[in-house]
């Protein structure tokens, strides 16, 4: 019963960490502006979150 919400929380945390790492790399390596890096961070976080959610449901229910 608790497995679904717990996995959602884990995927939120992981996607947030991953997008922060990607944005940090964009700023430091590519010399990107902070505002652009925030956009990249948001897009990366959403994509990672959706991908992880899909993967969790695909693995968990099939």
pLDDT of residue 56: 76
Predicted TM-score (pTM) of the model is 0.54
pLDDT of residue 1: 52
DSSP string, 9-21: HHHHHHHHHHHHH
pLDDT in tens, the chain (62 residues): 566 677 778 878 888 888 888 878 777 777 767 777 777 788 888 888 888 888 877 777 65
pLDDT of residue 61: 64
């Amino acid at each position: 019963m608790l497995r679904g919400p717990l996995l959602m929380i884990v995927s939120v945390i992981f996607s947030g960490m991953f997008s922060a790492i990607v944005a940090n790399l964009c700023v430091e390596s590519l010399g990107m502006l902070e505002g652009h890096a925030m956009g990249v961070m948001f897009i990366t976080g959403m994509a990672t979150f959706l991908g992880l959610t899909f993967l969790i449901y695909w693995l968990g229910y099939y």
